[in-house]
Amino acid sequence: LVFDDYFYPNHIPEDSSAPDYDLWQAEAPWMAFGDWRRANVHKTVADVHALVSDLKPGLRFGISPAGIAGKKHTSAPKWGMTGCEVKGDDWQYSEIYSDPLGWLYQGTVDFISPQIYWPTTHAVAPYEPLARWWSEAANFYGRHFYASITLAPLDKRNTNSERQELLRQIGINRDSSLDGDQGTVLYSAKHLYKLASDLTKSPFGLKSLTPQVRRGSSLDPVEAPTALRLKGGVLSWHGKGNAAAPVRYAVYAFPKNLPHDELVEENGDGLRACYLLGVVYGEEFRVGSPGSYSYAVTALDGFSAESEPVFLK
């Protein structure tokens, strides 16, 4: 679940002509008008997060704000974060009363997906320092960062240069990740086909699991599937999921007799993504003739916490 960056309307007055002036005076006249509006946004975001956590705990909730926030003269000092150093202005703080660092600080979003819609060569809002600052901010507050990049330039100039710029931005997102929870949001889907072949070659040539939601990390680990068997080209198992708490299953295929240290990620966190075949909700997966391959299955809960693998014997 993602909210776009629409909070208060642009350029509404901060005087007695404002439609919410009397409400501000009745509720919190000791606060600056802008601070009161930002507090209202904080409360709305917190209420939505609480609702999501109660009704559908495994659902990710995040916001896609404007690409520049947290300047030294706006909100960075308030929330203990280093200010964003690009020349571009934090207009969302004063014009639509949006303060993303507050959401991150308060833990009321699971991820932040700022709209960094400028190229790496932009004079006042270059992509790379913005992506690195947002990654640092999200990691500082224990949340995920998935930059939103725009494919709109491909609408008019579907050139190799434009495509390489977008691939460069995706690479920056991955290089900027401080915790391995890498991700990129591509907007809009109507232009995606123009970049599809470049993406499937690199950097999206392999399947991947979604990062684990931080607020679910303290829950009991999901139980691994049992009774893994292969018959008639269909891999099957027994799982612990139910309608109230659905579980997904990740299926891996790897060469037989592969050494264990080559099967797991370098940091020891699960099986290597290059061996991932797919993710399903059911308890079977068609793999065909095993040939020289062996298989493993893990369970994934709603937070994307992954169980220990069970291997086909």
What CA–CA distance (Å, rounded) separates 124 from 145? 22
pLDDT at 282 over 80: yes
pLDDT score for 58: 80
The Cα–Cα gap between 80 and 75 comes to 9
Give the pLDDT confidence score for residue 179 in this predicted structure.
74
**3-class DSSP assignment, residue 116:** coil
Residues 275-287: what's their mean pLDDT?
95
Check: CB of residue 217 under 8 Å from CB of residue 279: no
- What is the rounded CA–CA span in Å between residue 28 and residue 40? 11
Q: What are phi and psi of 103, to 5 degrees?
A: -65, -40
The pLDDT assigned to 265 comes to: 84
- pLDDT at position 304: 87
**243 has pLDDT over 60:** no
Mean pLDDT of 283-296: 91
| Phi and psi angles of residue 43, each rounded to the nearest 5 degrees, phi first | -65, -40
Q: Please tell me whether the peptide bond between 211 and the residue prior to it is cis, using omega within 30 degrees of 0.
A: no
Taking a C-beta distance cutoff of 8 angstroms, is the pair 213, 60 a contact? yes
- 247 SS3 class: coil
Q: Give dist(CA 140, CA 142) in Å, integer.
A: 6
Amino acid letter at 145? F
pTM comes to 0.90
- Structure tokens given for 40: 């209202």
CA distance 117 to 147: 9
pLDDT tens by residue, 79-130: 999 999 999 999 999 999 999 999 999 999 999 999 999 999 999 999 999 9
* DSSP secondary structure string for all residues of 60-81: --EE--BS----TTTTTGGGT-
Domains of the chain as residue ranges with CATH: 2-205 (no CATH), 215-311 (2.60.40.10)
pLDDT, tens digit, for every residue of 130-186?
999 999 999 999 999 999 999 999 998 899 999 999 999 999 999 988 877 778 999
- The average pLDDT across 264-275 equals 85
What is the spatial distance between Cα 277 and Cα 297, in angstroms, rounded to a whole number? 10
Find, among 2, 127, 138, the residue nearest to 62 by Cα: 2
Burial (CB count <10 Å: 0-12, 13-18, 19+), residue 111: buried
pLDDT tens readout for residues 10-50? 989 999 999 999 999 999 999 999 999 999 999 999 999 99
Q: What is the pLDDT of residues 191-234, one digit of tens each?
A: 999 999 999 988 898 888 888 887 765 566 788 999 999 999 99
Q: What integer pLDDT is reported at residue 203 of this predicted model? A: 85
Partner residues linked to 159 by β-bridges: none
Confidence of residue 244 (pLDDT cuts 50, 70, 90): low
Query: How sure is the predictor about 303, in pLDDT bands with cuts at 50, 70 and 90?
Result: confident
